[in-house]
Chain A
Amino acid sequence: GAVVSQHPSWVICKSGTSVKIECRSLDFQATTMFWYRQFPKQSLMLMATSNEGSKATYEQGVEKDKFLINHASLTLSTLTVTSAHPEDSSFYICSAPSGSGNPYEQYFGPGTRLTVT
């Protein structure tokens, strides 16, 4: 089946620094990828839709200047958390439609645990 990977799986950074998280579709191409944020034992909150070759679409309340998304190729989307603060500490998950033509058939990455100290 289709596989989505994320790198790194966890990262610790100091307050004020920036962190980049990668999301890759390993055996299929994805013109669209989705970025979610998950707090412990809570729901996944959709942050933005990453679009290959164009700007990302952000959900209401998500700061686009803080969470920079770049969909550089058909297999890679990156999320950069700029000037990170402790409240940005969370679990970030990406997903991508499988490429079967059915947008509802999505595959999720394993997530990236970000801790800002």
Chain B
Amino acid sequence: AQRVTQPEKLLSVFKGAPVELKCNYSYSGSPELFWYVQYSRQRLQLLLRHISRESIKGFTADLNKGETSFHLKKPFAQEEDSAMYYCALSGRNQGGKLIFGQGTELSVKP
């Protein structure tokens, strides 16, 4: 079964602290993994794709196929990072259908 699991509903850190949002997936095949972010009162937007291996707003995520994980990391959290973060999966030849995790609310305190 295809599944994305984000074990933490809420993650609260202080500004400048490192942050890691966990994501584990279950998929039989080679999935595409993504992180989406939803700031307060804004629409969902793409943050990262595993295949591009880039850093956006200081965030990085590495796909670990052995552990079936795609954790999102940032070394120094900023207050403006406070948002809902969703890990998502899509399979090849599925035309872009996304399976989302439950979401983690990141709260960065001053």
Contacts and interface: CB of A to CB of B under 8 A. Distances in A.
Interface of A: 32, 34, 36, 41-46, 49, 93, 95, 97, 103-106, 108-111
Interface string B88-102: 001000011111111
Given A34-B96, A97-B96, A43 B44 contact: no
A45 B97 CA distance: 11
B52 to A, nearest CB: 10
A44 B90 contact: no
B46 A105 contact: yes
Interface string B40-59: 00111110010000000000
A108 B46 CA distance: 9
B103 A109 contact: no
Contact of B96 (A32, A36, A42, A93): A32
